[in-house]
Amino acid sequence: MNIYDYTINDLEHYFISKGEKKFKATQVFEWLYQKRITSFSDMTNIKKDVIRYLNDDFKIENLKILTKQEDIDVCKFLFELSDKNKIEAVLMHHDYGNSLCVSSQVGCNMGCKFCESGRLKKVRNLTCGEMVAQFLAVEEELNIRISHLVLMGIGEPFDNYDNVIKFIDIINTPKGIALGSRHITVSTCGIIPKIKDFIKDGKQVNLAISLHAANNELRSKLMPINKVYNLDDLIKTLKDYIKQTNRRVTFEYILLKGINDKKENALELVHLLRGMNCYVNLIPYNETSHIEFKKSDQRTILEFFDILKKNKISVTIRREFGKKVSAACGQLRANYKEE
């Protein structure tokens, strides 16, 4: 078993089952996530017989970096898992700190038409330990501290809900990595039952919604998930989320040339979101050779932004990263697989 798959509560139960005091879980977490040991024998304040059964029951499983691509303020990693599957993570340097975007699945079954990740279908879910290992590998490779985490890489996080929640617990644990809840964002295309579970779980992390269209007809063409969980039901659920958590929702909106970037699209978005505690993150599209969609021109992006701003919708335009790297989510993995 990979020790990175275990929350601190899991390890407490493990040690109790071995007749040990549960505080040893805290000690192990500190060694793993604060001192970053790679061998149980390096834990000098834990007795040898405990280390012996840790070695018998667990392994410390790190990821192999196959390749990395770098550009100004961005570094994209392609990792190989123990079963030879490939995933990506992207580190972005912002003025507020270092933000890491991690993958939650090998491939994706959501089938969003503009997304490179979904072109290679889902193989399996990642374990929480494989998500943790992305974080640890990037910090070690670049010798940095990651200050912000987003689950927006390959895969739909809420299609791997239980492992994602465990991953958040591990990243957030004070005696471990101790990344603050407000610095963690999980993104979903809108799986309503899991958003309801997320409300009940009471996690204080940020919620982002991949929206990309403000009417059901267009959104269903771009995102098949909308045929299952339509906009009306999604917005109703998100209003309930805002009411119960008193937290703001982020809406991600990729601007696609001639598809969803017109004035009427912006006004539809205003009508859909007016009065909600939310903000819109407008995203310039990363074009790929495999998908026909094109990036909106700068003038169109700014006009769209202005319409939202003038109608009292909080809005930002995401800074563009990685012009010299395979910037689209899943693109590096897809290119490597095809080569």
Active centre residues (catalytic): 88, 329
The Cα–Cα gap between 140 and 122 comes to 28
DSSP β-bridge partners for residue 71: 74
Instruction: Determine the length of the chain.
Output: 339
CA distances from 268 to 37, 53, 215, 294, 305 (A): 52, 60, 7, 21, 13
The Cα–Cα gap between 14 and 21 comes to 10
Rounded to 5 degrees, what are φ and ψ at 151? -95, 85
Spacing of C-alpha 14 from chain mean position: 29
Backbone region of residue 107 per phi and psi (left: phi > 0; alpha: psi in -120 to 50; beta: other values): left
The Cα–Cα gap between 170 and 58 comes to 17
Tokens of 208: 């982002």
DSSP β-bridge partners for residue 206: 185
The Cα–Cα gap between 220 and 212 comes to 10
Any idea what DSSP says for residue 229? S
Is there a contact between 150 and 210 (Cβ–Cβ < 8 Å)?
A: no
The Cα–Cα gap between 254 and 212 comes to 6
